[in-house]
Amino acid sequence: MTPKLKALADRVESLQDQLEEAESEYETAAEPAIRAAKGIPADHYIQLGTWECSDSPTGRCAYDMTDEDLAGDDECIFCGHPDERK
């Protein structure tokens, strides 16, 4: 790998890390609004999906995942659409 290509690859990796960190911070900040909107108990894990959702306060689908069973719900708690769509 050439030095220029290596530098570019390193930059892409750094940007991916920053994006993942920002997404994690966003999910943490959005969780109270989701809990309040749907009355979800504190012992349930909320996972934001990638699908757009006009019914959600975050604009993205959200899924209620229990602590005991991280399989959770396959349907968005706001719009009811499934996580896997074709």
Residue-wise pLDDT for 26-83, tens only, equals 888 888 888 888 898 888 888 888 899 999 988 999 988 875 555 666 889 999 998 7
In a domain, 53, yes or no: yes
Q: What is the largest CA-CA distance in the chain?
A: 54
In a domain, 72, yes or no: no
Phi-psi region of 15 (alpha: psi -120 to 50; beta: other; left: phi over 0): alpha
Model pLDDT, residue 8: 95
In a domain, 19, yes or no: yes
Cα angle: 35, vertex 81, 47; to 5 degrees: 40
- Cα–Cα distance between 6 and 40 in angstroms, integer? 46
In a domain, 76, yes or no: no
Looking at the 3D structure of the chain, how many domains does it have? Answer: 1
Model pLDDT, residue 69: 56
Model pLDDT, residue 58: 86
Q: The domain containing residue 44 runs over which residues?
A: 3-66
DSSP three-state, residue 22: helix
In a domain, 23, yes or no: yes
In a domain, 77, yes or no: no
pLDDT band, residue 11 (cuts 50/70/90)? very high
- Cα–Cα distance between 57 and 42 in angstroms, integer? 18
In a domain, 71, yes or no: no
